[in-house]
Amino acid sequence: MRLEVTLGQHALAGRKGLNQDFHGAVIPTGSALDIKGIAVALADGIGSSPVSQVASAAAVRGFLDDYYATSEAWSVRRAAQRVLGATNAWLHAQNQRGDARFDRDRGHCCTFSALVLKGREVHLLHVGDTRIYRVHAQALEQLTEDHRVHLGAGQSYLGRALGATLHVEIDHRCLEAEVGALYLLASDGAYERLDAASVHTALACWPHDFDAAARVLAQLAHERGSTDDATVQLLRIDALPPHEAEPWQAQRAQLRLPPPLAPRMVFEGCTLVRELHASARSQVFLALDPQTGRQLAIKVPAVALREDAEALDRFLLEEWIARRVHSPHVLQAWASEHAREHLYVAMEYVEGQTLAQWMTDHPRPDLDSVRGLVTQLAKGLQALHGKEMLHQDLRPENVMVDRSGTVKIIDLASAHVAGLAEAVPALQATRIAGSLQYTAPEYFVGGQPTAAADLFALAVLSYQMLSGQLPYGLQVTQLRAPADLKRLRYVPLRHHRPELPTWLDAVLHKALQPDPARRQEAVSEFVHDLHRPGPGLLRTRAIPLVERNPVLFWQVCTVGLGLATVALAGLRVLGR
> What is the pLDDT, as a whole number, of residue 445?
84
pLDDT at 250: 64
Under 8 Å between Cβ of 202 and 184: no
| Answer CATH for 249-348 from 3.30.200.20, 3.40.30.10, 2.40.37.10, 3.90.1150.10 | 3.30.200.20
Residue-by-residue DSSP string for 213-238? HHHHHHHHHHHTT--S-EEEEEEEEE
Alpha helices in 169-258 (DSSP H): 188-191, 196-205, 210-223, 249-253
Indicate the SS3 state at residue 500. coil
Q: What are the backbone angles phi and psi of residue 285, rounded to the nearest 5°?
A: -120, 145
Closest CA to 455 of 379, 365, 522, 549: 522
The residue type at 371: R
Domain residue ranges in the chain: 4-239, 249-348, 352-539
pLDDT reported for residue 461: 97
Contacts of residue 169, defined as CB under 8 A and 6 or more positions apart, other chains included, come to: 127, 160
Q: What is the pLDDT of residues 152-168, one digit of tens each?
A: 777 778 899 999 999 99
Helix, strand, coil % in the chain, rounded to nearest 5: 40, 20, 40
Query: 10 Å Cβ neighbour count for 501?
Result: 15
Q: How is 135-148 classified by DSSP, letter by letter?
A: E-SS-EEE-S---E
- Residues of the chain short of pLDDT 70, as ranges, are 244-250, 423-431, 539-550, 575-576
Give the number of other CB atoms < 10 A from CB of residue 425.
14
Q: What is the pLDDT of residue 170?
A: 96
Paired with 25 in beta bridges are 40
* Cβ atoms of 390 and 403 closer than 8 Å: no
* Stated pTM of the model: 0.77
Question: What is the model's pLDDT at position 473?
Answer: 86
CA-based diameter of the chain, in Å? 111
Task: Name the CATH topology of 4-239.
Answer: Phosphatase 2c; domain 1 (3.60.40)
- Other beta carbons within 10 angstroms of residue 183's beta carbon come to 23
- Give dist(CA 80, CA 246) in Å, integer: 22
Give φ, ψ of 59 to 5 degrees.
-65, -45
What gap in Å lies between CA 477 and CA 455, rounded to an integer? 17
Architecture of domain 352-539: Orthogonal Bundle (1.10)
Residue 517, burial from CB neighbour count under 10 angstroms (0-12, 13-18, 19+): exposed
Please report the pLDDT score of residue 53 as a whole number: 94
Give me the amino acid identity at 574.
L
Whole-number CA gyration radius for the chain? 30
Is the distance from CB of 73 to CB of 420 less than 8 angstroms? Answer: yes
**CA distances (Å), origin 193, targets 111, 140, 375, 486, 499:** 19, 12, 60, 58, 77
- CA 244, 249, 251: angle at the middle one, nearest 5? 170
Residues 189, 531: Cα–Cα separation, whole Å: 59
